[in-house]
Amino acid sequence: MDHFGIGEKPWLKPVQFEKLMGGRPCASDSALFRLPKPLLTDIAEFLSDDKPSLASLALTNSDCQQLARSRQFANVVFDHREYNYGLVVHLAQESFSDDDGTPQIRHCVRSIQFGMILSPYVYVDGFLDQGLENILALLWSHLPHLTSITWHGQLSTSRYLTHAIANTAIQHLHITNIFANHNWLFTIPDMPHLRSLKLSLDTNHFPSSLTSPFFEMLLKGCAASLESLEWRGPKSSPQFIDIPDRPMYLWVQANGLDFSHGPIHFPRLRWLMLEGLIVGPTLMHSFLGARLRHLTLPLCPDHTVIYRLLAGCDTMRDLETLSMPLLTTEDDAELALDFVARHSSSLEFLCLQGMAGAVMDGVVIPRLVEAGLPNLISLSLEWWTAEADLDNPISAVDICSNWWGSEVLPRGITPPPRWTLWTPIRPVYVPEQSLALIGKLDTLRQLRLFAGGRECRDPAWWMVDYRAMCALLSGLTKLHTLAICGDDYGDSVAYNVWRGTRWGRGVGPNDVEDWAEEDIDDRLVDNDDDDDDAWPYEYVFYYVDHRSCMLNWAENFAAALPSLEWMLCGSTPMGVEPPDEEGFRCVSALIEGMDRCEAQLRQWFTMDVGADAGRQ
């Protein structure tokens, strides 16, 4: 499961009240509207989660109705369901009718999000109906406060539509899928007001000769104003890439992306995330020439080329966040760590992924400690090929109990290529010397450690000695967030494998993670042979015993780390209370069940929502 933290997305705030009324003075003499106008906007924002109060406010008078609408219609989601068309018709009537001075909904809209096409009536040969597309484009130009457009799904590339987007003066644009053709390539308009751009595009929809020219023209048109760029590659056709020491599947495109007319200058670009792309040297050089504050480098086969470009680029004096993938050789690690050392005085967040065990323990961690990094407050390290105990493999067939049958993997497990039920599962270990060095980075406030083989041919689990880790990390006195990921019991591997699955993968056919405490008690009492929903005793006891074990270890970490407030181990997120009168710190599970918390950890450690941070 991965539900913890999901749903907490940044929304645009309501339109300021002066703009909301469209220049019309307030008709009400209520004391409410004699308050400072920014305070009225804050009131509408405060009531966003209280729908009954918002509805009561709307029924008071026309001014209150418009204030309530400013929150209700600030972010409009249009997913082509029938009830969405009523809003489209209403906005069209407001846009093209005479203004009689009454408050209008179109003044409230700040963001429009288009979901996947659900109705079969809006398709014409697989594309969005051109008539509906033109209506939507026409509406955009009549929404005076529209600042954000998000399009999830098929977007055909009519010239009328793209020019309508450019004419709205929007500041934030997010596109997931479009179809390109030669006729449209040279009609891409400039978007000089665009501040953030999120691209998640399947280049299989592009002729191969158009891929790089399309993106070059698109980025060139908004380069002068662009502050944030999140660019994700295609996810439709995997290709196997045999990287030394870490064979894996990676979503990539066949041809690399690059600029053919020289570098492009991005004077205001501060936030850059590249993912799943093969980036050419000219394109990468253009990005590295900006004064970046946040940088996420792409995971791709040509990672050595990227690290050589890093070695030759100028120092980014404002760089605060850095995420770097795939250091499989000592040469790559040295180039990457030289770049980190040059930015030691400014770096605050550092994420290193896909490290070979020998490189991580022999080069990366010692160099990090040597660099000093006086302002580093967040560190995320991933051993993707840590040292494995190949003498004691565990057959994956042992994961399957009689509950699922001998030929079915537990729910939630998707086997990698060539992973059969008899593929050995490798327990992996992180050397204590590495943990001891990490314990010397006493400026850290949050730390995430992952070890295992998330995408390797052979699955690998991290056997953690929590007692030793607790002692080795005790020097991190400022640490308030600790996440231990990919972990398993180090002293009873077979016991936990026999119990069902690894943590976070589900502990039964219906996912024991969803049980509440009272449900566990009920199942222990009512578990009879005739009940199809009944659970074997071992599953119930395993879950209860597992959570108790994790809470006990979290109490030990809380005693050793005086600032600890949140901890994840064993796929159990836990909160730590301040010490009581006797100095004891109470630890409690934050959810009923188990959760890997990957979405939340991405937000905390790898700036996953950084592109939206300024969208207020």
Helices (H), 182-229: 182-185, 211-222
Q: What is the mean pLDDT of residues 536-562?
A: 80
In angstroms, rounded to a whole number, what is the distance separating the alpha carbons of residues 138 and 421? 57
Residue pLDDT, tens place only, 157-172: 556 666 777 777 789 9
pLDDT at 33: 85
Burial class, 422, CB count within 10 angstroms (exposed 0-12 / middle 13-18 / buried 19+): exposed
pLDDT at 134: 60
pLDDT at 500 over 60: no
The pTM assigned to this predicted structure is 0.78
pLDDT at 237: 33
Q: How far is CA 115 from CA 119, 174, 176, 558, in A?
A: 11, 12, 10, 44
pLDDT at 203: 57
* Percent of the chain topping pLDDT 70: 64
Quick one: which of 300, 242, 290, 237 has its CA closest to 264? 290
Residue 104 falls inside a structural domain: no
Number of H helices, E strands in the chain: 20, 25
Q: What is the mean pLDDT of residues 435-449?
A: 96
In angstroms, rounded to a whole number, what is the distance separating the alpha carbons of residues 544 and 549? 9
Q: How far is CA 462 from CA 416, 450, 459, in A?
A: 18, 8, 10
Least confident piece of the model among 143-157, 174-188, 598-612: 174-188
Domain that holds residue 525: 412-418+435-605
Q: What does pLDDT average to over the chain?
A: 73
Tokens at 512, concatenated: 């024991």
Least confident piece of the model among 251-265, 318-332, 379-393: 379-393
What is the domain count for the chain?
Answer: 1
pLDDT at 104: 86
Quick one: which of 567, 605, 373 has its CA closest to 483? 567
Choose from 93-107, 141-155, 353-367, 398-412 the range with maximum mean pLDDT.
353-367
pLDDT at 490: 44
Query: Nearest 5°: phi and psi at 481?
Result: -135, 125
pLDDT at 492: 39
In angstroms, rounded to a whole number, what is the distance separating the alpha carbons of residues 57 and 46? 13
Q: How far is CA 425 from the centre of its chain?
A: 28
pLDDT at 11 over 90: no
Least confident piece of the model among 64-73, 293-302, 442-451, 545-554: 293-302
Residue 353 falls inside a structural domain: no
Residue 126's Cβ-side half-sphere holds a number of Cα atoms within 13 Å equal to: 4
pLDDT at 509 over 60: no
Q: What is the mean pLDDT of residues 186-196?
A: 81
- Spatial contact of 97 and 136, defined as CB atoms under 8 Å apart: no
pLDDT at 453: 57
- Residue of higher predicted confidence among 613 and 532: 532
Confidence of residue 295 (pLDDT cuts 50, 70, 90): very high
| DSSP-assigned letter for residue 612 | G
Residue pLDDT, tens place only, 260-280: 788 899 999 999 998 877 788
Confidence of residue 407 (pLDDT cuts 50, 70, 90): very low
pLDDT at 294 over 60: yes
In angstroms, rounded to a whole number, what is the distance separating the alpha carbons of residues 148 and 494? 52
Residue pLDDT, tens place only, 552-604: 999 999 999 999 999 999 889 999 999 888 888 999 999 877 788 888 898 89
pLDDT at 448: 96
Residue 501 falls inside a structural domain: yes
- Residue of higher predicted confidence among 183 and 330: 330
Residue 338 falls inside a structural domain: no
Q: Which amino acid is at 260?
A: S
pLDDT at 152: 73
Residue 505 falls inside a structural domain: yes
Kindly give the interhelix angle for 159-167 and 130-140, rounded to the nearest 10 degrees: 10
Q: Which amino acid is at 283?
A: L
pLDDT at 376: 96
In angstroms, rounded to a whole number, what is the distance separating the alpha carbons of residues 357 and 436? 16
In angstroms, rounded to a whole number, what is the distance separating the alpha carbons of residues 138 and 157? 15
pLDDT at 259: 82
DSSP states along 62-125? HHHHHHHHHHHTSEEEE-S-HHHHHHHHHHHHHHHS---S---GGGT--EEEE-----GGGEET
CA angle 394, 399, 401 (to 5 degrees): 135
Residue 344 falls inside a structural domain: no
pLDDT at 457 over 80: no
Largest CA distance in the chain: 82
Least confident piece of the model among 176-185, 286-295, 387-396, 417-426: 387-396
Residue 93 falls inside a structural domain: no
Q: How far is CA 539 from the centre of its chain?
A: 32
Residue with tokens 């770049």: 339
pLDDT at 470 over 80: yes
E strands, 163-257, are 172-178, 196-200, 228-232, 239-243, 246-250
Q: Is 41 helix (H, G, I), strand (E, B) or coil?
A: helix
Residue pLDDT, tens place only, 315-339: 999 999 999 876 778 888 898 899 9
Query: Nearest 5°: phi and psi at 152?
Result: -105, 115
Residue pLDDT, tens place only, 71-119: 888 888 877 666 677 787 888 888 877 777 678 888 899 988 876 554 4
Helix%, strand%, coil% for the chain, nearest 5: 35, 20, 45
pLDDT at 318: 93
Query: Nearest 5°: phi and psi at 116?
Result: -65, 150
Contacts of 60 (CB under 8 A, 6+ apart): none
Confidence of residue 50 (pLDDT cuts 50, 70, 90): confident
Residue 537 falls inside a structural domain: yes
